[in-house]
Structure 1
Amino acid sequence: MILLSLSIKKRNSLKLINHLKPIKMSQLINFMCSLITLFVINSNTSPQELAQNEKISIPIEGKWEGNLVINENKSIGIMWRFETTEERTLIGFMGPASKGAATIPMQDLKVTETTLSFSIHSQGSFSGLISETGITGTWSSQSGKQLVIYMARELTQEQLSKRFTKSSNGDKINIQQEIALGNVQAVKTFLSKGNAIDSLYGEGQTLLIYAIKKDRTYKVAKYLLENGANPNLVTDDLTPLMYATAYQNSAMVQELIGYKANVNFISKEKQSAIVFAIKGRNAEILKLLMDGGADPSIPLKEDYSAVDLAKEENIKEILEVLNIPYEGVSDGPYVMQTETGRTATWVNKGEIHTQKIRSKDSQSIEYNGVKAKLWNNTPKEVKQLVYNGNFKIGAVSDIHGQYDTFMKLLKNNGVIDNQEKWSFGNGHFVVAGDMFDRGPQVTEVLWFLYDLEKQAEEKGGKLHVLLGNHDVMVLNGNLRSVHPKYTEIGKILEKPFNTLFNKGTVLGDWLRTRPVLVKVNDILFTHGGLHPDLVTKGLSIEDINNAFKLQLVESEMAEKRNEVGNFLHRQNGPIYYRGYFQGELATDLQIDALLNHFNISNIVVGHTTHKHIEMHYDGRVIVIDANMKSGTMGELLLWQNGSFSRGNLLGKELPLETEVNK
């Protein structure tokens, strides 16, 4: 029997013990990975109704933390967080403890005096009993596993220590482990042996940075600061204050400001603590920074400052801290269509504008300067997945609603001209998924690509728009990663955001025709990656795409996804797989087998963020997610005459970065 335990610290704590029937270790790790992949920095939720919340005798509000034990030597940390909104509804969140924040929304959350239940979209559900000593219940995963869960109030050092691999170094101190345990005495001993307080240890981080990221007690970080740790030491282009802000650690932000941390430091990547606070939508930390002397008007680049970023993000709570008027959200159009005509809906500063279009002919529509080009043909399912020819190729991935950055990248690298029209000739350009989520300009990106596809065809070229996991999530009603703007749009239009892309909408119908992979001149493009098991399953490119698309939106299916559909739509499928870069890495032999099976020379993927476009496995795998979702970065892949290069935001053509797989 395998023991899984979850425990928590401080006033609200959690301990999870799962008694399982014997299962394979790979199954257990896959289960945990499915939970970890839920984590996002920018997530939102609709309040879930609280049942009988007036009479709850054992409060569960606050932060909870615990362990999911992988084996006797290692556990993985989990965090939960519950809070009550102004409308007196209880909402809950989940996330991995390694990120220091629980932000994945729980759905269908219900709490009474003695019971607790919730679900996590596409993962499973929990139902349990609340007692004076804890919460006991069962996690039911989508795959059918039943996991018994017990949640306690206090996280002991012994319970937390289960999160670390047992050291084989005898009496040698594992300083990273001791910091995460909040063991100040161990840190004192470590420093007394001549180890410098500001040196880099472990994975190239200072003791202070590691304490900010891992020590939930804050004791170690305070001790280090009291004993001379430099609060402004830059590591990997980030300061301790920027780390604390990114990890949503308001207590440490306040502590660092008290030790004269530079609140206005701007990194080489044009990031700052204020930028992280705005992007993290954390008004509390933003106010701490402002009170500590942070100046949001300092230019990050040219005439662009954090004030401009805040206006683009347009989050009411953030704007209030910066004393910037909030005028409401604007977006659209969302176009419904019938057999005879269409109806376009815009939202302008919170007000709805509707336009009746009595023809399905191709035409441009506009309201208050916001335009969209409608085509007269009904989009057809993309069937051709293999292309060969004498043309250049470009590719980009993970736009995540960053329209302005996307336009700059395309213009400066000659894919479009200054009027945002196709200028790539007979070339093929691939968008490898994830147009949705994170950023505030998703609709602009979608309408642009919808029109660019036609422009490319008219010029003898081809635009391939593939689906990524965030696109599929939205189509399936999983809105945990959407920008707050789109949550507000849904409220204004009185319908969930995903329904604006239902069947019968122009963009929704177009998205449903997009494939999940494409092969161009023996280069295979997909969002996440191809799992080695696809070889043994004997699936072709067409098999993968057909099975994936036939089971795309669960609510539109007469029956549940079959075995192949479940495989393709979960963590080892083409939109989620990360095994070229994280976790149990694919071997060189497995990569060769994939290339041989699909008769390809390279696999090009997005999904897993890197600073630059990189080659892995001696160039056989190329990752093109260059962090466009940040809004300040981005690169595109270029191929011509058998040679790869990358174009940066300034339009400079550069060689690909090379990463050696271990």
Structure 2
Amino acid sequence: MLAASTLSLSVVSTAGFLLARLANRSSFCATQHGLGFGMMASAISVASAGGSTIAAEVQSNGDVTAAAAAFAGDAGSSPKRRRVSSDVTTRFPITVVEKQPRRLVVIADVHGDLGAFAETLLAAGLVDGTGNWAAGETVLVQAGDVFDRGDSDLEVEEWLWTLQEQATESGGAVYHLLGNHEIMNAMGDHSTASPKSFEPFQDLNVDLAPFGSQLDKFPDWGKPRLAAMAPGGPVSKMLASHSVAMKIGDTLLVHGGLRPVNFDPKSCRGATGMACLESLNRWTHEWLIGQGEMPKELWNRDSPVWTRFYSSPGGVELGEEAGADLQKVLDVTGTVRMIVGHTPQEAGINSALGGRLWRTDTGMTAMIGGQPEARQY
């Protein structure tokens, strides 16, 4: 059942903002970063600190190849399949994968830019010329913030689900993290969503009845997205399978960051150590499927999806406090590094504290204009 009550305040507060965006649709929508206009991507790999950074180098090409069109979603044979339905199967989020993967690739904030995402997948060798999984036993982690800013956030989410299924069949895996923008959307705050990104939601046939008059202040084109992403809605149920934080082998992955306070029993309702992350993933899952309240742990200055303690300002070395905090977190989780996204890094993917921290949000969406990159180990 849709948890309509969770939308009541956020819907009203953002209605005017979205209505203003509709009136200025043509000026608001940025030109999307894509491969569909005579562009091909190649890869540059820069080795550092036990891994390497993959940069998608865009090169001019006179022909729009079938592969590029498929990546950008322009071809009739696009590899994306509609994964959203009213009876979507919700999986419980993963907290720990003990086995060290043969290859781990992390792609951070995509923000609805299907073209930039496609460039990164191609440069990392994760997909073939038809956009299907081609990386065998590789493990891919998308580090949150698929939604908002760009025009194609639902399509990116659906593509990730398709790749997840294909990777599993090949002995690999695709994992998703929740970012602050996924949380905002589930709360009813779509104030940073592109007006065009509302269009694919029209095809989902979401039941609006549970919301009563709460959606009356919104134009009809906005209502399906709001309902689909509200707790208990079909897209929110997809997000419910995403982790707030997870450990894969010797690597800790989280959108914003983790500090010692996140492992304090007072913050974990009595849990300690990795059980804190397991509990937070469970509480968030229950909220997103419409069977619980939003965890207060997601909405404070130390929230794992909101903190910028390690990532802002970008590209700089961190001080003793950050180093001490990070080491405590790594010790508690039994990991050697933490990978975060959330804060765009003008210099691209970069590290601090001797490679114990990696900042991977490059602002790849066209609205920010950063370089599409991925980090691999």
Of 433, 442, 463, 2:174 maps to 463
Distance in 1 of aligned mates of 2:372 and 2:241? 27
The answer to whether the 8 Å contact 1:446/1:507 transfers is no
1:566 lines up with 2:296 in the alignment = yes
Query: Which among 553, 564, 575 is matched to residue 305 of structure 2?
Result: 575
Return the offset for 1:571: 2.5
Structure 1 distance, partners of 2:163, 2:245, is 19
Give 1:600's aligned residue. Answer: 335
Q: Which runs of 5+ in 2 are unaligned?
A: 1-12, 32-57, 63-72, 203-217, 266-270
2:104 aligned with 1:393? yes
Larger radius of gyration: 1
Partners of 2:94 and 2:242 within 8 A in 1: no
Question: Equivalents in 2 of 1:526, 1:434: separation in Å?
Answer: 11
**1:622 alignment partner in structure 2:** 358
Counterpart-to-counterpart distance in 2, 1:638 and 1:475: 30
CA displacement at 1:47 relative to structure 2 = 1.9
Match of 2:53 in 1: none
Check the 8 A contact 2:108/2:341 in 1, yes or no: yes
CA distance in 2 between partners of 1:384 and 1:86 (Å)? 38
Equivalent residue letter for 2:161: Y
Distance, in Å, in 2 between the alignment partners of 1:85 and 1:608 is 27
1:498, distance to aligned residue in structure 2 (A): 2.4
What's the secondary structure of 1:628's corresponding residue? coil
Q: Which structure dedicates a bigger proportion of its chain to strand?
A: 1
Match of 1:519, SS state, is: strand
Alignment partner for residue 344 of structure 2, among 600, 604, 609?
A: 609
Residue 156 of structure 2 corresponds to residue 445 of structure 1: yes
C-alpha spacing 1:303/1:440, structure 2 compared with 1 (3 Å): farther
Please give the residue correspondences for 1:111-510 in structure 2 after superposition, counting only pairs within 5 Å: 279=30, 302=60, 372-374=81-83, 378-486=89-197, 491-493=219-221, 495=223, 497-502=225-230, 506-510=234-238
Over 3 Å counting, the alpha-carbon distance change for 1:85 and 1:507 in structure 2 is: closer
Determine if contact 2:253/2:340 at 8 Å carries over to the other structure: yes
More helix by share: 2
Take 2:364 and 2:239, find their aligned partners in 1: how far apart are those partners? Answer: 21
Q: Which secondary structure does the structure 1 equivalent of 2:365 belong to?
A: helix
Q: 1:547 to 1:535 in 2, by over 3 A?
A: closer
Match of 2:249 in 1: 521
Alpha-carbon distance between aligned partners in 2 of 1:439 and 1:86, rounded to the nearest angstrom: 14
Greater relative contact order, per chain length (Cα 8 Å cut-off, separation 6+): 2
Measure the CA separation in 2 of the matches of 1:371 and 1:535: 38
What amino acid is the match of 1:439? Answer: G
Distance 1:601 1:477, change over 3 A: same
Partners of 2:323 and 2:111 lie apart in 1 by 31
User: Would the alpha carbon gap of residues 399 and 390 (structure 1) be closer, same or farther in structure 2, given more than 3 Å must change?
Assistant: closer
Cα displacement string for residues 104-155 of structure 1 (whole angstroms, at most 9, x for unaligned residues): xxxxxxxxxxxxxxxxxxxxxxxxxxxxxxxxxxxxxxxxxxxxxxxxxxxx
For residues 421 and 498 of structure 1, the distance between their equivalents in structure 2, rounded to whole angstroms, comes to 30
- The change in CA–CA distance for 1:536 and 1:416 in structure 2 (over 3 A counts) is same
SS in 2 for 1:394: strand
Query: Alpha carbon RMSD of aligned pairs, Å?
Result: 3.9
The 5 A counterparts of 1:57-72 are: none
Superposed CA offset, 1:222-266 (max 9, x none): xxxxxxxxxxxxxxxxxxxxxxxxxxxxxxxxxxxxxxxxxxxxx
Q: Give the drift of 1:532.
A: 2.8
Residue 637 of structure 1 aligns with which residue? 375
Is 2:15 aligned against 1:46?
A: yes
In 1, Cα distance between equivalents of 2:101 and 2:282? 30
Instruction: For 1:532, give the aligned amino acid.
Output: P
Rate the CA distance shift 1:495–1:384 in 2: closer, same or farther, 3 A: same
Supply the distance in 2 between the matched residues of 1:610 and 1:371 (Cα, whole angstroms). Answer: 29
- Cα 1:517–1:637 change in 2 (3 A) is same
Flag structure 1 segments of 5+ consecutive residues without an equivalent. Answer: 1-43, 49-83, 88-275, 281-299, 305-331, 333-365, 640-662
Distance (whole Å) between structure 1 residues aligned to residue 305 and residue 95 of structure 2? 19
Query: Which secondary structure does the structure 1 equivalent of 2:100 belong to?
Result: coil
The answer to whether the 8 Å contact 2:153/2:197 transfers is no
Q: CA deviation at 1:432?
A: 0.6
Cα distance in 1, alignment partners of residues 289 and 169 from structure 2 = 36
Letter paired with 1:634 = P
| Amino acid paired to 2:244 | V
- CA shift, 1:374, in A, is 4.4
Structure 1 residue 301, shift from structure 2 partner: 7.5
Change in 2 beyond 3 A, CA 1:383/1:591? closer
Identity of aligned residues (%): 24
Q: 1:493 to 1:517 in 2, by over 3 A?
A: same
Partner of 2:55: none
1:368 Cα offset (Å): 11
Give 1:398 deviation, angstroms.
0.4
Residue by residue over 1:390-440, the C-alpha shift from the partner in whole angstroms, topping out at 9 and shown as x without a partner, is: 511100110000111111111122011111111111111100100000101
